[in-house]
Structures are given as C-alpha cells and as structure tokens.
Amino acid sequence: MGQMAPVYVYNAFVFTYGMKVVGASRDFLLIVLLIGSFFSFFTIPFSGYLSDRLGRRHVYIFGAAATGLFAFAYFAMLDTAMPGLIILATLIAFAFHDLMWGPLAALTAESFTPRLRYSGASIGFQLAAVFAGGPAPMIATAILASTGSGQMIALYIFGCAIVSVAATAFLPSGRDRDFTRDHV
Amino acid sequence: MTTAEVAAGPLSDFDHRAQLRRAVIASTVGTTIEWYDFLLYGQMAALVFAKLYFPSSDPLTGTLQAFAVFAVGFVARPIGAAIFGHYGDRIGRKAALIATLLLTGLSTFLVGCVPTYEQIGIWGPVVLVVLRFIQGIGVGGEWGGSVLLSMEWARTSKNRGFLAAWPQFGGPAGFFLANLAILAFSQMSGDQFLSWGWRVPFWLSLIMVGIGLSIRLGILETPIFQRVIAEERSRVRRSSRSSNANQRRSCSPRSREWGKWLPSTYTTPSFSPTA
C-alpha cells in the first residue's frame, strides 16, 4: 500500500497537479518522468542488492518511512514551479520509492512456499494494485478538489506509508526459512 | 499431471549460470512489455480514446468513460493472478508465463486495430473494453511468474533480492518506453496522431512480444519448481507402492505430509498486505 499509492500519485496524478496547480506543460512533465524512470534503472537493482545485504524488511521499512516523510517536501518543491526543483523532487521521490519497489518482489515471494508461491504472490500483489494503486490518483484528485492543497495529499501518502511500515514489521522474516522447499 | 520438461540431470555450473542469465532476461523483458502495454493504454485513454470512441457524449463524460475502460483493466488483474497463479503452481512457471505474454501482447496489438466509433459505432468502445479486460488478465498473471522465474534460479539466498529486483526493473523500463512512444508520436503534425499515429505504439507491442517469446521458449522450468514436483511424484509413487509393513512405516509420515499439503494449496498461509 505504501508503495502502490505513491507510485500512482508520482506517475499519473502528477499530470493533474503539475498542469493545473503548478502550471507546467505536459511535455515537460513527461520528460521529467522519463528522467526519473531512467534514474530508476540504477536504483532498483541497487536496492535489491541492498536488501540482500541489510535484510529486505529493513530496506523496505526505511523506504516506506522515507517516502511518507518526503511527500511533504515533494509537494512543496513542486509548488515552487522551478524546473530544477521539480526534477530533483521527482528523483528523490523515485529513489525512496525504489527502496520499496526493489525488495518488494523478493519480500512477497519469500512469504510463500513453492507450491503456493505463484498464486500467493500474484494475488497479493494484484489486489494491492487494485485497492491501493488504482484509486490513488482519484483519491488525490478528490483531496485536491476539496482542500486545494498538495500538503493534504502528502498527508494521504504519509498515512499509506504508516500502514506499510506496520504491516512489514509484522511480516515474519524470510531469511530463516528454506525458500526452496515446501515445509508442511 | 504433466509438468514442464525436467532437466536430464543437475546442470553444470556453466549451464546453470547461462540459464540463470536467460531467466533473468526473460522475466525482465516480460515485465517491461507488461508495464508498457498497461501504461500505454492508460495514457492513451486520456489522450485519444475519449475523442475517438466516446464522441457522442460531452468531453468530460467521454474522459470518464475512457477511464472506466482503464478501471476494467485493474479489476481484471486479480482475476488473472488467480488463474495463472493456479496453473503456475501446478503445471509450472514457464507455461503460465508464455500464456500471459501472449495474452497481454496480442490484446494490446489488437487495441491498435479497433475501428473507431465513427466506423463501427458502439462496437468500437465495446471491443476496447473486452480487449482491456483480456489484457488485464494477462498482466495480472505476469508479475508473480516473472519474479519467481528470476528468484527460483538463484543458488543461494545471498543474491535473491538482487535477482528479483530485475523484473521490478521492467516497471520503469516499460513506463519509459510507453512515455517515449507517446512523446515521439504525439509530435506528429495536425490530425495525423489522432487519425493513425496513436495506433503505432500499440502495434510496436507485437515486436516486443516476438522478442519476449523467443527468449521464454528457450528457458527451462525453475530448479526449485522441478525439484518440488519430482519430490511429490516420488512421494506418491512410494505411498502407492507400499505393500510390506516396513515400507509402510517409512512412508507413513510422508503421506501425512501429503495429506496436509493438499488442503494447504487452497489456502494462503501468510499474506503480505503491503505488496
């Protein structure tokens, strides 16, 4: 949840916010996102590597907490309407998000044994996409329409991050389990 | 039940590394296509679908309807996850991944072929919704399988996270390509983008499916899944063959495991709400 909601805000809702509130052009925002996803080409494998060294849950929880806190700064930086700051805000937001996105796959798959893994991981991930990801741009749009403030949207992202941090903290560590076998 | 081909014996170090590399590429290419297709549709829904497929309504309703088409794709994703999760856990990762790739890619290609409202009336948007639904089913089955394909080739737990991050890399890669395609084609002058330019990025999906398919057909089933299947087979064989008491004693705990395994395939023991 802490991963899905922000990513749809940063990738989809940013067009609504960027064009209507900040006054940026569509092409500019598209280019900013292109730079951001190019940057992710490096941060995602790196965060996967970090999760092998430091533990997946630690990296994921750090990423979720950092994403939740940075959301406030993100909207403040967008509000300046300075191209440099918009690009910087996007890069930082993507980097923190990737600390969740990188280890997410292994974290999810390690929660299941081989004979349940495909179903378990797929259904878990896709349900999260439907309930947290899909409605996120609409929720953000509704918040913007009723409050007119980016900071309130940041609060929403912050709330999603708290859910993620708590849920991940309760997840048993995959480290001490045998990934390769069906333990009954 | 048939399973995917089982390697003749344990692979040599060299072959294992080659397979691992191939599996990681196969899964990364797959998720790239998956996200490209899914995001391309989402972006195009806002840019052109409202104008071409919902023209009778006012612009706002048109946009809403196009997003409804977008939402159909979301609803289909858990359904695809359940279908391909079921087969992927029984028949194998490879077979499921070839099916999801074809389903996602071909439905995306066909989106680029749907005649507009002006040409075939209400059938235009109807076909669009159906294709989006099929695409969503494919997308829903793709992610989990791709992650497993990479991870289950890992030899140790020391690099599993790194290997599993590569299919995740497909997310921004697909996003990058989809936005690049839109940026490039929307620069076309005048009505050209609206009349045919927007269709080209959907057709390009077919090329990517060809590449993805040629890689995926050449991979082996993951070693972890192969072993689990082999162990289950020998367990079943042993328990059915057990005629003397000695054997029965040795196999009874195993058949008890087997009995516990069966119901466990229909329940989900641990589930992460954070994913």
Which residues, numbered 25 to 84 in chain A, qualify as contacts with chain B under a Cβ-Cβ cut-off of 8 Å? 27, 30-31, 33-34, 36-38, 40-41, 44-45, 47-52, 56, 60, 64
Please tell me which of the candidates A52, A114, A118 has its beta carbon nearest to residue B96: A118
Res. B252 pLDDT band, cuts 50 70 90: very low
Which whole number is the average pLDDT over B87-95? 87
pLDDT surpasses 50 at B145:
yes
Higher pLDDT, A3 or B166: B166
pLDDT at residue A176, as a whole number? 53
Which whole number is the average pLDDT over A42-57? 89
pLDDT surpasses 60 at A71:
yes
Which whole number is the average pLDDT over A148-153? 87
pLDDT surpasses 80 at B69:
no
Say whether A52 and B160 touch across the interface (CB within 8 A). yes
Query: A16 at the B interface (CB within 8 A)?
Result: no
User: What is the nearest CA distance from A80 to chain B, expressed in angstroms?
Assistant: 25
pLDDT surpasses 90 at B202:
yes
Higher pLDDT, A92 or B57: A92
pLDDT at residue A42, as a whole number? 92
Lowest mean pLDDT among A12-16, A31-35, B246-250: B246-250
Res. B245 pLDDT band, cuts 50 70 90: very low
Say whether B257 and A37 touch across the interface (CB within 8 A). no
pLDDT at residue B63, as a whole number? 67
Query: A112 at the B interface (CB within 8 A)?
Result: yes
| CA angle centred on A132, ends A126 and A137, rounded to 5° | 120
Say whether B162 and A116 touch across the interface (CB within 8 A). no
In tens, the pLDDT along A111-139 reads 888 888 888 888 888 888 888 777 787 78
ipTM above 0.90, yes or no: no
In tens, the pLDDT along B5-53 reads 444 456 777 788 888 888 888 889 889 998 899 888 888 877 788 778 8
Which whole number is the average pLDDT over B203-209? 91
Question: Can you tell me the distance from the alpha carbon of A3 to that of A104, in angstroms, rounded to the nearest whole number?
Answer: 9
pLDDT at residue B247, as a whole number? 45
pLDDT at residue B253, as a whole number? 42
For residue B12, give Cα distances in angstroms to B16, B17, B106, B135.
6, 9, 37, 38
pLDDT surpasses 50 at B274:
no
pLDDT at residue B15, as a whole number? 80
pLDDT surpasses 60 at B220:
yes
Which whole number is the average pLDDT over B214-222? 84
- Is residue B132 within 8 Å of residue B70, measured between CB atoms? yes
User: What is the nearest CA distance from B166 to chain A, expressed in angstroms?
Assistant: 6
Q: What does pLDDT average to over chain B?
A: 77
Which whole number is the average pLDDT over B83-107? 90
Does pTM surpass 0.90?
no
Q: What does pLDDT average to over chain A?
A: 84
